Structure 1
């Protein structure tokens, strides 16, 4: 009734789950339970969006991976917060052995990805908007190289991190203290998250900014708004 002819719905690549046997694509079927309510509710919202497809509304779904870059430093920009915290010497932890892989996509690529999804996206299709697959060791090595800040990093066993997270949840329950990490998030660290954006690259023209370039732009921005990152 409002004359809306096409909708681009923003979901998350987290709905597909980790890359247990193969790299994650739009055809990947989740084989483990959801780690976060964010993933679960996005999956529910996708199902809701698909109902509108049955009503002949042109709906395209995009699934961003871990987004980083200039922007409001909120929970949705947690990767940038982690970069900032490392530079300031406040983040010293590498989860597990540091070899767990995540996919990191620069914010500009996400903005452009939404635009081209509106312009070229096919009705009823999903498109992963991803970036670089990189493990924690390489992640922090690149941040160190770009920023020039070298901090000693502690590789914490996931079992230890899990115990700490349960203790933090207890403090939350007793005193209302906001937990720095949750058991669900620690369990997520135990998996690989290799993701492919080839479908979006081929059908939409999605272009990926490599992590070193994106991290450089992010750190330049952080320094411009934080005067050398001296402030918290």
Structure 2
């Protein structure tokens, strides 16, 4: 079986490509010509791994890439909490999905789509733990990224209702070794914490997220291809915890001191506005903290993965195990010391 992976050069996509190859699948990695391909193996002569160049926003290149493939893993997404041009979120995250669905209809070989969405598509869970039955209310969005994923989710569910063979998976906050990207926010915050650029906890510690180790998500994606029910949603989430707990676990693992203060969200918000200003005028790079990111911290995002456990044999690891790996990886790269 040959599978097409969109977003193959990304943090999650690269791990997915390698796992699929290790399990004997032929993989076509859909990448842009400007992409960093360091997380991917080189193309080989037997055709089990090949590169297809293009962009999910360019329909013709996507359709050409579908040729000969039986499954599309649509993992391509613009993942960030703030960008100077927010319209890019809709262009990539919504327009890209629309192009994948249209390419499925026009291509003659594709039999199934595994669409990787995000917990943001379901909305916040202030005071409770949500499951796959939650639909984003669509009344308020912390970030333009959240809005784009909620809009795309509605489109994917409509496609499933029309009979398209699509399985939807929703990771939590993805973390793990591999790449320090905007999508690997846990690694980025740990780097800031251990280099004393983030001197304490963010907020009161009442935030709550569902943390997903990247390799667990990959296992869940492949299981969704093999075992997932068409039209079904699966939360590929994990342990629900606050970033205060993440920092405390990291301190325990490294035998270092826990942060000794909590930074009030209004102060973090002010820092976020300054960071955005610096990004616009000086660096041109997305800031680690922005006002939309602070809005995310004001809510809880806790979810249950019981359906994935039952249907996909999904087995998420705990934070202590996952963070031990991340900390050792960051230390090996000399990005942190302990």
Same fold (TM over 0.5): yes
Counterpart of 1:11 in structure 2 is: 117
How far off its partner does 1:172 sit? 4.2
Equivalenced residue count is 229
Q: Does 1:209 align with 2:317?
A: yes
Q: Distance in 2 between matches of 1:125 and 1:139?
A: 31
Q: Structure 1, residues 42-95: CA drift from partner, whole Å, max 9, x if none? A: 222233334443553210010000010011111111111222332333332312
2:324 alignment partner, SS class = helix
2:333 alignment partner, SS class = helix
Which deviates more, 134-143 or 47-56? 47-56
Q: Distance in 1 between matches of 2:284 and 2:165?
A: 44
Q: Distance in 2 between matches of 1:53 and 1:108?
A: 26
Q: Structure 1, residues 140-162: CA drift from partner, whole Å, max 9, x if none? A: 11000112232544311112222
Q: Does 1:43 align with 2:150?
A: yes
Q: Does 1:162 align with 2:269?
A: yes
Q: Distance in 2 between matches of 1:53 and 1:138?
A: 38
Q: Does 1:85 align with 2:192?
A: yes
Ranked by relative contact order (alpha carbons within 8 Å, sequence separation 6 or more), the top structure is: 1
Change (3 A) 1:98 1:58: same
Q: Distance in 1 between matches of 2:280 and 2:178?
A: 32
Q: Does 1:223 align with 2:223?
A: no
1:29 to 115, 135, 150: 135
Change (3 A) 1:4 1:185: same
Conserved 8 A contact 2:176-2:322: yes
Counterpart of 2:87 in structure 1 is: none
Q: Distance in 2 between matches of 1:70 and 1:93?
A: 23
Structure 1 unaligned regions, length at least 5: none
1:16-165 alignment to 2 at 5 Å? 16-31=122-137, 32-54=139-161, 56-150=163-257, 152-165=259-272
How far off its partner does 1:35 sit? 1.4
1:208 alignment partner, SS class = coil
Q: Distance in 2 between matches of 1:23 and 1:100?
A: 13
How far off its partner does 1:128 sit? 0.7
Conserved 8 A contact 2:136-2:150: no
Change (3 A) 1:130 1:5: same
Change (3 A) 1:214 1:175: closer
